[in-house]
Amino acid sequence: MANSFDRIYAVVKKIPRGTVASYGQVALLAGNPRWARVVGYALHANPDPEGIPCYRVVTKDGRTSPAFAFGGADIQRALLEADGIEFTEDGRVDMAKYGWTGLG
């Protein structure tokens, strides 16, 4: 049986380019809706940044992480923009437009 981090990584690997998911959504899809904080820990310890696109996980209101594991929020934003995601004037991802449904 996979541990919590493995289950989280399996979900994050499924987030398609051009979409984002929230920490809570990843937690729910990984099997425990109370794991939002655990998702943060797992992504910070990401063993395979190329294969596990942790930059595609944002807060439920579309904010990037100020403590993004690979160099700060500006790096996360740049990676998301490279995926084709646009930001609102207040620096958030429009979750209605770019949020992943978890179904594909």
| Catalytic annotation, residues | 54
Please, what's the largest Cα pairwise distance for the chain?
43
Between CA 99 and CA 19 the distance in angstroms is: 6
CA separation for the pair 15, 104 (Å, rounded): 8
